């Protein structure tokens, strides 16, 4: 998938909520769009993730048949652990749903690479040693992830994640990654200009 194709698809994102509207967009649009949303969320929710720092990858279903798939969920939580202290926590399922929505949208447009995880859960020690990390970061609670998709600019991934309105979205354009969390809906950037909801 080319960057131009991603740019066009993100620009028309508001008109494509029927492909997968995300939790916040369920019920928006016509009957056909709602049926597409429901079909997407009723299917097994698989995440394909890669952790460059450890070389680990996972492709697992964390939700299936209306409930948590414990084995897949725990394997995903292990990949999202604080690799500096080798400690994992139960990650917020709503966070995994946001990542799944982003990944599902990209898959629909033919971009089938895994999401690269920069940071998931952080211990208080790791958070204190992370440059620019907030003292009360949602990473400490297993409610935030920093990620990239190689070949896709962070601003596009942020625009896509913000569409689902599942929480905060940080556009780290200069650093080349996107932050998503399950806190209040808000947007920020490492650039000087103000970010508004795309």
- Give me the mean pLDDT over the 117-132 stretch: 90
- Give me the mean pLDDT over the 181-186 stretch: 95
- Give me the mean pLDDT over the 112-121 stretch: 95
Q: Which of 29-43, 68-82, 120-134 has the highest mean pLDDT?
A: 68-82
pLDDT of residue 179: 96
- Give me the mean pLDDT over the 69-91 stretch: 97
Query: What's the first-to-final CA gap in the chain, in angstroms?
Result: 21
pLDDT of residue 127: 86
User: So what's the architecture of 3-189 in CATH?
Assistant: 2-Layer Sandwich (3.30)
Q: How far apart are CA 18 and CA 165, in angstroms?
A: 16
pLDDT band at 136 (very low <50, low <70, confident <90, very high): confident
């Amino acid at each position: 998938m080319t960057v131009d194709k991603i740019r066009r698809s993100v620009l028309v994102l508001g008109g494509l909520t029927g492909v997968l509207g995300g939790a916040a967009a369920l019920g928006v649009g016509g009957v056909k769009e709602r049926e597409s949303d429901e079909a997407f969320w009723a299917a097994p929710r698989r995440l394909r993730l890669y952790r460059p720092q450890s070389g680990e990858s996972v492709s697992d279903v964390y939700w299936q048949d209306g409930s948590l798939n414990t084995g897949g969920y725990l394997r995903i939580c292990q990949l999202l652990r604080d690799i500096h202290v080798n400690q994992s926590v139960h990650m917020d399922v709503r966070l995994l749903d946001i990542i799944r929505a982003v990944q599902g949208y990209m898959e629909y447009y033919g971009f089938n690479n895994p999401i690269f995880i920069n940071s998931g859960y952080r211990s208080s020690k790791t958070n204190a040693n992370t440059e620019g990390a907030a003292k009360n970061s949602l990473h400490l609670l297993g409610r935030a992830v920093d990620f990239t998709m190689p070949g896709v600019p962070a601003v596009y991934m942020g625009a896509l994640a913000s569409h689902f309105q599942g929480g905060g979205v940080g556009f780290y354009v200069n650093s080349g990654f996107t932050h998503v969390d399950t806190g209040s809906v808000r947007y920020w950037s490492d650039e000087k200009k103000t970010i508004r909801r795309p």
